[in-house]
Amino acid sequence: MNAPGLQKEKFMELQKTLPALLPDFLTAQRWFGGKARQIRRTEVLDVIPFGASEPSGWMILARVEYESGPSETYALPLIASAGNDGSLQKSQALRMKGDGGVDLVFVDALRDEKLLLGLHAAIEAQLAFRGLNGEVRAQQASAYREFSPAAAGVLQPVPMKVEQSNSSIVYGDRLVLKIFRHVEQGINPDLEIGFFLTDKVRFPHVPAVAGWLEYMGNDGAQSTLAILQQFVPNQGDAWQFTMKSFAGFWSKAGEHPQDLLALKIPTLYSPKATVDVIPDIARELCGPYLDAIALLGRRTAQLHVALASDATSPAFSPEPYTPGFQTELAHSLAEKAKSVLGLLRLRAAELPGDLREQAQQVMDAEYKILQTFRTALDRPITAMRTRIHADYHLGQVLYTGSDFVIIDFEGEPARPMSERRVKLSPLQDVAGMLRSFHYAAFSAAPADGAVAEGNSESVWQRSRVTEAWHAWVTARFLASYLKEAGKASFIPASEDELKTLLRVHLLEKALYELSYELNNRPDWVRIPLAGIISLLKE
């Protein structure tokens, strides 16, 4: 669909005026990923009108260049608003002078019901919207009619209130349109993997892909703008489910202090040695949660088996570890570790006294950390590499009340698209989930007066009970995962290789967490520090 005259006029107007307004607007948005970087300049790459002669809105593609580091492109769906609407805050609107000095006000189009209905209608009709430098194409997947049958009529759009790096719209409790704010060239892994699991292998424990929006530039470069998926009724994510279960565990744990303290805590991260080593009191206090986590372990293994099931597709066929790949991976992990430890040295003096000691332990262990990566990746690895989730944790899993559905295959948004599509060991996903259990345990462990006053015995007792919960949950998840995965090609043949590879990815994840907490939540630094120290003792 085209509107050449208005399109060109509006493009030239927005291309000229918007760049000066975008820095303040972008830095006020929760989904903007460049808040910690200094913006040097912005540029409007394209303006695509939604609609015919009277566009209902525009998709703005804006490139942001920073004082250092790579540039980024963001998708801004905008609509025109009344120029005299004084209720809009600066962070909600882009204001500029139009012809005759009249204010032109543009706001986020995802607030507008008409435009949201139009986006679904575009996928329904598989429309294309032309800009000057490319076009937006609306596409359907084979599962579209299953979740949006013609008899369903108009599916009312409702924006999701909880937003992070993307924006999501629910259509009639049938479909969810996830709009990617940060846009990169190439197919987004969330669409690529979701489409593979929906159409190729029919994996039932992910939301089915029903359609998508893509941008195709005049130069042939393709980018994913949005993905339309099945809406999954749920009771929240697995993090919320875990927090509720952990609170129940603590409410009963106080009745058995001596029994709990007398228990031998199983050695962490020795996968086959922990199989079913769950004492009766743990089963009593954890209740149905241990069985639920066993189910999550099975679903995780089934996901990895599905992702490794197609030997004919270049994007998904399993690949062996090679000496060259292992050398490159070891170098990458070492460089990231040095960067994190350098940041820790800069921030260590700002940490509370008790954490400074732990921080010093980690800094003093730099050689051991680097040697762990070198040694593990210097020997041959028999297991295969596959596509993985790449950002797997309790928040990436929905709990339905009786089962789990795995979501968000985008990978870590801070990493380039090329890195997020690299085939790696599925044990990296496993490590991400185990670290998530650790976060759940030590972020939720209740405090009391004795702990607050620094009573060392009380602190020790609570820490030991928390470690016990973490160890039991980890053991249950790992046992179930390994049993379901069986002799899959991505599982190392030997116990030693399995433990070594898992430890590498656990350490990699804990270092990543340390960097994140130092930059964003200094009060949480104690969790990854404790994780790193524990791993170094193994």
Which pair of structure tokens corresponds to residue 295? 């189910």
Under the banding of pLDDT at 50, 70 and 90, the label for residue 245 is: very high
Under the banding of pLDDT at 50, 70 and 90, the label for residue 5 is: very low
Under the banding of pLDDT at 50, 70 and 90, the label for residue 125 is: very high
Name residue, tokens 């405090």.
Answer: 447
Q: Which of 28-37, 62-71, 389-398, 471-480 has the lowest mean pLDDT?
A: 28-37
Name residue, tokens 């530039």.
Answer: 217
Under the banding of pLDDT at 50, 70 and 90, the label for residue 213 is: very high
Q: What is the pLDDT of residues 409-420, one digit of tens each?
A: 999 877 888 888
| Residue 373, CA atoms < 13 Å, CB-side half-sphere | 24
Under the banding of pLDDT at 50, 70 and 90, the label for residue 334 is: very high
According to DSSP H, which parts of 155-208 are helical? 189-195
Give the C-alpha separation, 214 to 420, whole Å: 19
**Which has more pLDDT, 93 or 319?**
319
Q: Which of 345, 368, 342 minimizes the C-alpha distance to 356?
A: 345
* Confidence at residue 282, expressed as pLDDT on a 0 to 100 scale: 84
Asked whether residue 4 carries a pLDDT value surpassing 50, the answer given is: no
Q: Are 5 and 31 in contact (CB under 8 A)?
A: no
Q: Sign of the C-alpha dihedral, residues 415, 417, 421, 422? A: negative
Asked whether residue 313 carries a pLDDT value surpassing 90, the answer given is: yes
> Bridge partners of 104?
96
Q: Which of 10-19, 111-120, 399-408 has the lowest mean pLDDT?
A: 10-19
Report phi then psi at 194, rounded to 5. -60, -40
Q: Which of 14-23, 52-61, 370-379 has the lowest mean pLDDT?
A: 52-61
Q: What is the pLDDT of residues 132-187, one digit of tens each?
A: 899 999 999 999 999 988 766 789 999 988 767 899 999 999 999 999 999 999 99
> How many residues are recorded in the chain?
538
**What helix, strand, coil percent values describe the chain, rounded to 5?**
50, 20, 30
DSSP 261-291: HHSPPPPTT-GGGGTT---HHHHHHHTTHHH
Element (H, E) at 39: strand 39-50
| Most confident residue range from 442-456, 459-473, 505-519 | 505-519
Q: Write the burial class of residue 258 (CB in 10 Å: 0-12 exposed, 13-18 middle, 19+ buried).
A: exposed
Give the C-alpha separation, 423 to 390, whole Å: 10
Q: Describe the strand order of the beta sheet including 134-140 as a list of residue ranges.
A: 128-130, 134-140, 209-217, 222-230, 175-180, 166-171, 157-159
Asked whether residue 455 carries a pLDDT value surpassing 60, the answer given is: no
The proportion of the chain whose per-residue pLDDT surpasses 90, expressed as a percent, equals 63
* Confidence at residue 73, expressed as pLDDT on a 0 to 100 scale: 96
Q: What is the pTM of this model?
A: 0.91
**Which has more pLDDT, 508 or 95?**
508
SS3 99: helix
The proportion of the chain whose per-residue pLDDT surpasses 70, expressed as a percent, equals 88
* Confidence at residue 3, expressed as pLDDT on a 0 to 100 scale: 44
CA distances to 33, 112, 194, 483 from 410, in Å:
15, 26, 10, 27
Give the C-alpha separation, 462 to 457, whole Å: 9
Q: Write the burial class of residue 223 (CB in 10 Å: 0-12 exposed, 13-18 middle, 19+ buried).
A: buried
Q: Cα 394 to the chain's mean position, in Å?
A: 10
* Confidence at residue 404, expressed as pLDDT on a 0 to 100 scale: 98
* Confidence at residue 453, expressed as pLDDT on a 0 to 100 scale: 45
Under the banding of pLDDT at 50, 70 and 90, the label for residue 210 is: very high
The mean pLDDT of the chain is: 88
Q: What angle do CA 506, 322, 423 make, to 5 degrees?
A: 55
* Confidence at residue 252, expressed as pLDDT on a 0 to 100 scale: 86
Asked whether residue 486 carries a pLDDT value surpassing 90, the answer given is: yes
Asked whether residue 1 carries a pLDDT value surpassing 80, the answer given is: no
Report phi then psi at 277, rounded to 5. -85, 70
**Which has more pLDDT, 162 or 325?**
325
Q: What is the pLDDT of residues 249-273, one digit of tens each?
A: 988 887 777 777 777 666 655 555 4
